[in-house]
Chains A and B, each alone.
Chain A
Amino acid sequence: SQQGEEDPQALSIQEGENATMNCSYKTSINNLQWYRQNSGRGLVHLILIRSNEREKHSGRLRVTLDTSKKSSSLLITASRAADTASYFCAPERYNTDKLIFGTGTRLQVFP
């Protein structure tokens, strides 16, 4: 069964707006990684947050992690049309190297 579940399933915004995607998972984790996928091709690694971290930034990306609620969020600020893609959270199951993906959030950014 899917472990990382993203919400919403789809999101449409205008360029310049912020986009927030949420992720929930079910088990203990080592870390949680966020990926972007364009047009069903390979996954691009965006950011990793360890289980003992609460917030992390990378450029226009901000990720939070709440292990007590088993949830994470990805914020993309000042979005661009090029950010249009599917975004996946992938919690790494505790004591394994398995990334468990949900069905992703499809983000559409209109110019």
Chain B
Amino acid sequence: KAGVTQTPRYLIKTRGQQVTLSCSPISGHRSVSWYQQTPGQGLQFLFEYFSETQRNKGNFPGRFSGRQFSNSRSEMNVSTLELGDSALYLCASSSSARNTDTQYFGPGTRLTVL
């Protein structure tokens, strides 16, 4: 099976712009989670989608949003970019809804905000 794919791998944006990141989960996986990774804050949970519904959301401002499509692909959007949004954004998929399930991670999208 193909792994989790994320596009694009690298992005450079300027403050005030918006950005959309894409994640394609492993075939058959219905849960997609997004994480932000920075040197200062480490790994932080953004949100999780299961069967097109957002089930959980982390402690991020409303500028961060996401959605999941019927084929389980997911996108996250960040509006009005700030310098502090520079980070590695990781997507992870899992097969179902149990918290014992393994999350499989993509390679991430490196976002740089100038």
- B and A form one assembly: no
Residues of B within 8 A of A (CB): none
Residues of A within 8 A of B (CB): none
